[in-house]
Amino acid sequence: MFIKNTWYVAAWDKEVSTEGLFARTIIGVPVLMYRTQDGHITAMEDRCCHRGAPLSVGRREGDCVRCMYHGLKFNADGQCIDAPAQSRIPPQARVRKFPVVESHRWVWIWMGDPALADPALVPDTQWLDHPDWRSLDGYIHYDVNYLLICDNLLDFSHLPFVHPTTLGGSPDYAAVSPKVERLDNGVRITRWAFDTEVPPFAQTVRAWEGKVDRWNIYNFTVPATLLMDSGMAPAGSGAERGERKDAIEFRGCQAITPETEHSSHYFFAHPHNFALDQPDVTASVHQAVVTAFDEDRAIITAQQRSLALDPDFKMVPFGIDAALSQFRWVVARRIEAEAKAAMDAVQAPASIGPNVAVARP
């Protein structure tokens, strides 16, 4: 069960080209993406409406794609426009087309009702291509349900334990209680650690004297998007009051997109606003994040195996679960609401029945 009426990150912009055919499965649906000659991205079901062969192993023909099983040709709207030995193409010969928005390096896709696909709802990831920020593109694949990854990102108390040599720091970081605020479509988390140790990854990008004040302030919103203001400054320099001239800052952008119930895509970048002309610093920050995310994947995959042994396992809640519990609650409500709307839509015609019956003598 996934939320359908929401924007999912489907790809990094560079993954989808004008020549090729790019395939990725999103919330269980195989999707084909490619750019038409005008540079726009089109996304359609990667499953020929005829016998189900993947169009992505087909052939580009201009702005169209031809299925290389029986030769059906589809235009960029997913409509079949040519079929061998068939003069009249049935109008239902089409594959689903999905609304797509390309925005600041990410390709967002709407898997639900196209009528509801409002581009204004696409989150702002301006730091991914802003001239004042630098980052490298990250992607990793997970063999777990996406909610376990959300859980991980909604509680940074795991940093000193899972990432002691990268993003972590001293255990006191975990002892800080973050502020958790409910948003309409997720949660906002504010975590300040004052007078704490410089985490290992930050030691490689700059020299520090003494301890730092450190913050992670982020919105985590449906379906699974994390946008974060984070950084650190010399302890006592007033970063919490907005004094950031001696600080280093990041604008982490992360998005998890379910592939299936048991696997996930993870898109991420960690833009920084310092050492703009030092690609090795950017590379170093990126590598620290990649290493750390591999650490996350190891523990989460182990967790998944452990949970799979007992479907009835009951978790004991702790205070640190506040944010993830709220987020899971928001997700469950959205899925419920979509299920109810789908049921209402189906039942609406049936309500005509009684009226007709009343009209009878």
Residue numbers at the binding site for a copy of itself (CB under 8 A): 25, 28-30, 46-47, 49-54, 57, 66-72, 83-86, 90, 92-93, 151, 155, 157-158, 160-162, 171, 174-177, 260, 298-299, 302-303, 305-307, 309-310, 313, 315-316, 318-321
Q: Which two tokens stand for residue 160?
A: 């000193």
Q: Which of 329, 327, 2 is nearest to 152 (CA)?
A: 327
Q: Where are the beta strands (DSSP E) in the chain?
A: 7-12, 22-26, 29-35, 41-45, 59-61, 64-66, 73-74, 80-82, 97-98, 100-103, 106-110, 138-142, 179-183, 186-196, 212-221, 225-234, 248-260, 263-269
Phi, psi of 147, rounded to the nearest 5 degrees? -65, -30
Picking from 188, 13, 220, the residue whose alpha carbon sits closest to that of residue 106 is: 13
Would you state the structure tokens that stand for residue 226, as one six-digit string? Answer: 């994390």
Q: Give min distance, CB of 167 to a copy of itself, in A.
A: 14
Contact 137, 105 (CB under 8 A): yes
Token pair, residue 75, equals 């235009």
Please give the angle made by the CA atoms of 290, 294 and 300, to the nearest 5 degrees. 140
Query: With respect to a copy of itself, which residue has the nearer C-beta, 53 or 121?
Result: 53
Tell me whether residue 92 or residue 355 sits nearer to a copy of itself (CB atom).
92
Smallest gap from residue 28 Cβ to a copy of itself (A): 6
CB of residue 39 vs a copy of itself: minimum separation in angstroms?
28
Nearer to a copy of itself, 133 or 173 (CB): 173
Nearer to a copy of itself, 99 or 168 (CB): 168
Q: Which is nearer to a copy of itself, 183 or 307 (CB)?
A: 307
The residue among 127 and 327 lying less far from a copy of itself, judged by its C-beta, is 327
Q: What is the closest distance, in whole angstroms, from the C-beta atom of residue 56 to a copy of itself in the complex? A: 9
User: Residue 298 — left, alpha, or beta (φ > 0 → left; ψ -120 to 50 → alpha)?
Assistant: alpha
The CB-of-136 to a copy of itself minimum distance in angstroms stands at 27
**Cβ–Cβ under 8 Å, residues 167 and 201:** yes
Least Å from the CB of residue 314 to a copy of itself = 9
Between 140 and 176, CB nearer to a copy of itself? 176
* 132 Rama sector, left if φ>0, alpha if ψ -120 to 50, beta otherwise: alpha
CB of 298 to a copy of itself, least distance (A): 8
Q: In this structure, what token pair is assigned to residue 146?
A: 């996406």
